[in-house]
Amino acid sequence: MERMTRPPARENPPVPPAPLHTREVRDRALFDLEDGPVTPSNRAELTTVAHLLDILLASLVVSSLQYEQHALLVRAPSHRPIAEFFYSCADSDRGDGRLLAVRIRQLGFTAHHDPEHLATRSRIAFQTFPDGDLGGIVTQDLAGARILVQTLQEAVRWLRDDDPTTRRLLERLLEKKEAQADVLSAQSFPTLQAEAADRSREAMDGTTGRP
């Protein structure tokens, strides 16, 4: 009779940490009540987190102002959808900046909106262009969106699970910035084509003596 063999032993899965007892949760919650939503289970270095959020806040403020400025430089009727997109990006960045300011306050710090120092803290350098320079405008805005995408990705990886609330906020902002970059990269080539067509028409109007 063939002897039955025992299947190889499976490795024991890691045991998840036991949940805190009700009393322990209550004791932790009652510790330093003036800290509001920040409890001892938040393992992040809060001063560093607040500094990081302040940099992102400044970057979003500068980005929103740059989008607003660039929208005003797009005057050709055929490019109106691009201007509207810039306006929507400006509104989105302003709203996201407010979310960061609120989170900074929840962590026990003050968000800085001083215009004198916003540009120095921002990862994005404000740049304007001559009227109608769509190639330069789109390229600059795409570069700015990509800078913020990379900065947010680094911040999310750095936070890990030390501050889940801040990490989730940054993940939402990252998703929106990636969407902006996607639209801008999709528009780059058609925009340059449209710009070239406009210049060609202007040149033809000049040679034919049209008013």
Under DSSP, is residue 25 helix (H, G, I), strand (E, B) or coil? helix
pLDDT at site 28: 47
Number of domains in the chain: 1
Please check whether residue 29 lies inside any domain of the structure.
Answer: no
Is 4 inside a domain boundary? Answer: no
Output the average pLDDT for the chain: 80
User: Cα torsion at 186, 192, 194, 200 (round to 10°)?
Assistant: -170
pTM over 0.85: no
Residue 23 lies in a domain: no
Domain that holds residue 198: 40-206
Q: What is the pLDDT of residue 161?
A: 86
CATH number of the structural domain spanning residue 149: 1.20.1260.10
pLDDT of residue 23: 52
Residue 9 lies in a domain: no
pLDDT in tens, 45-90: 888 999 999 999 999 999 999 999 999 999 888 888 899 999 999 9
Structural domain includes residue 2: no
d(CA 119, CA 137) in angstroms, rounded, equals 19
Q: Which residues of the chain have pLDDT under 50?
A: 1-7, 15, 18, 25, 27-37, 39, 41, 196, 200, 207-208, 210-211
Give domain status of residue 137, yes or no: yes
Q: What is the pLDDT of residue 137?
A: 94
The overall longest dimension of the chain from CA atoms, in Å, is 106
Does residue 34 sit within a domain?
no
Instruction: Tell me the CA distances in angstroms from 160 to 22, 44, 55, 153, 180, one per residue in order.
Output: 26, 9, 19, 11, 25
